[in-house]
Structure 1
Amino acid sequence: MIASPSAEVSAQRNISAERLGAEARSAPEQADIWVRLAIAEGRRKRFTPAVAALSRARALRPADPAIHHVLGRMLFQISQFRRAEVAFTAAIAFQHDHAEAYFYLGRSLGSQRRFSDALHALKRAVFLAPFWPAPASFSGTCHFLLNRHDEAARQFLRAIALDPKAADVHLIYGRALLRAGNRAIAEAQLARAVDLKPTLAKSREFLLLTLCVADMKEDLRSG
């Protein structure tokens, strides 16, 4: 029986992680090996061992912003948002122009429902990486959740201008418009999202949103 490509990739990743684990145990003072082991574990979706490896690397090189940043990313993956916040803050302390760290700091704060704090970090990410749509998109989400619908729309439109083919941004923007009562534009955004990414049509969120659009149309007809 021939192994599938995905099975072969998985096996290769397992071998790589096991080899790096052996290297780390034989040379525990080498921070780079712990980082490589963490990345290998992360690729296998084994985020808890990845965090443990990065903690070893951080102890060896406490002023390395890249280690703090990757640690934050792994912590974010396992929903340890407060610890991720600390890691991203440390990365920024050692590298003040780290746009990705500011963005993921904003994501971590937003995941704790600290939307105003998140916006401060995201504003810095937008300043440092003005052509990256992700900070603008998540800023739109934070503004929307703070009921600042006009500013949310501006941020979503900024993200769409930077990446017109970002289906997920069209979907999020459509959701925000729908909740703000702007049915017509919301419907257009949802349609655009599905045009760009047809699999979205089968997602639970899209189905719920289309039901909301249908309900609003019915309300208009009955009114």
Structure 2
Amino acid sequence: MRKTLVIMLILALVSCAGTTEKNPCKNPEYAKVMKEKARADISRNDFYAALEDTLSAKKCNPKDPEVYYLLGQIYWKWQERDKAKENFTQAIKYNPDYPEAYLALGDMFLQENNLDSALLNYQKAANDDRFPEAFLAWNNIGWIYLQQDRLADAEQALMRSISRAPNFCVAYCNLGEIRSKQKRYEEAIKELKKAIQLCPNLARAHRLLGLEYNRMGKTREACAEFELARKNADPESDEEKSATQYLKLLNCPTANK
């Protein structure tokens, strides 16, 4: 669908080429086409082409917030974090109601473990009821509150995430961890099983479920979950290392595999 749209827009440009060869921005569709091309470039990880197309659109309207959001995405993919933040911030300057930019900034600050700045940006993204990905912001708000041991606030945020995206497994996983901290262990198991039902490869949910089974003295079930956690975790990640540690502590049959 997107490819078809890009082709149609390009054809529209070609039809007007005679009057816009020296200044393509005179064609009102030109910047739109360049941004659509840039989004397509980003989706296939062609960031150099995306940068070229985005800068072409920027020439037509240097105050277009979407241009800066696209630039932020490109620089973030290149791990040029300062440039990415600068462009996301510029996008918000020209459009203070830009939830995608707030969400992106929140993610960047979260990666840096700057929880206060991440929380501030997530809250601005989450409070836009028109934003289709508000559930991601609410989940991340819940996770931050969970790290701060603000369990009631975390639960409320996660329930908002789930209400917007009932099949979002990560929110159930986070909610399961909250239930465990609240010593509501049966409910914790229920939420973690729901997370695994939705996302069978979610390593963290398997590890947390393994902890619940271990708490109950169900060693065989715990070993099975820790093995699934190790299998599905990213290699050399903290998740994999934690699962391996528990496999060894419980003398699970697969501990040394």
TM-score range, shorter chain: 0.7 to 0.9
For 2:226, give the aligned amino acid. L
Distance in 1 separating the partners of 2:136 and 2:98: 15
Distance in 1 separating the partners of 2:158 and 2:148: 15
Superposed CA deviations along residues 167-206 of structure 1, whole A, max 9, x for unmatched, are: 4421232134335544232112123345556958993212
Select which of 243, 247, 255 maps to 1:206. Answer: 243
Select which of 121, 128, 133 maps to 1:87. Answer: 121
Distance in 1 separating the partners of 2:245 and 2:90: 45
Pairing 1:40-119 to 2, within 5 Å after superposition: 40-95=74-129, 98-119=134-155
Query: Which deviates the most, 87-96 or 197-206?
Result: 197-206
Distance in 2 separating the partners of 1:198 and 1:47: 23
Superposed CA deviations along residues 61-89 of structure 1, whole A, max 9, x for unmatched, are: 11222222222222222222111111111
For 1:87, give the aligned amino acid. N
Q: 2:159 — aligned with what?
A: 123
Checking the alignment, whether the CA contact within 8 Å between 1:32 and 1:57 is kept in structure 2 is yes
Report which of the two structures shows the higher radius of gyration computed on alpha carbons: 2
Distance in 2 separating the partners of 1:198 and 1:64: 32
Q: 1:13 — aligned with what?
A: 47
Question: CA distance change for structure 1 residues 129 and 14 in 2, over 3 Å: closer, same or farther?
Answer: same
Distance in 2 separating the partners of 1:93 and 1:50: 23
Consecutive unaligned residues in structure 2, runs of 5 or more: 1-44, 253-257
Q: 1:30 — aligned with what?
A: 64
Shift of 1:22: 8.7
The normalised TM-score by structure 2 is 0.67
Distance in 1 separating the partners of 2:222 and 2:186: 14
Superposed CA deviations along residues 10-55 of structure 1, whole A, max 9, x for unmatched, are: x953675587579769954121111001111221233333222111
For 2:140, give the aligned amino acid. Y
Distance in 1 separating the partners of 2:235 and 2:63: 47
Distance in 1 separating the partners of 2:177 and 2:51: 37
Aligned length: 205
Please state if 1:191 is matched with 2:230.
Answer: no
Checking the alignment, whether the CA contact within 8 Å between 2:227 and 2:247 is kept in structure 1 is no
Q: 1:8 — aligned with what?
A: none
Please state if 1:159 is matched with 2:195.
Answer: yes
How many percent of aligned residue pairs carry the same amino acid? 20
Shift of 1:151: 2.1
For 1:99, give the aligned amino acid. F
Question: CA distance change for structure 1 residues 185 and 41 in 2, over 3 Å: closer, same or farther?
Answer: same
For 1:204, give the aligned amino acid. K
Shift of 1:118: 1.4
Q: 2:10 — aligned with what?
A: none
Consecutive unaligned residues in structure 1, runs of 5 or more: 1-10, 216-223
Shift of 1:159: 0.8
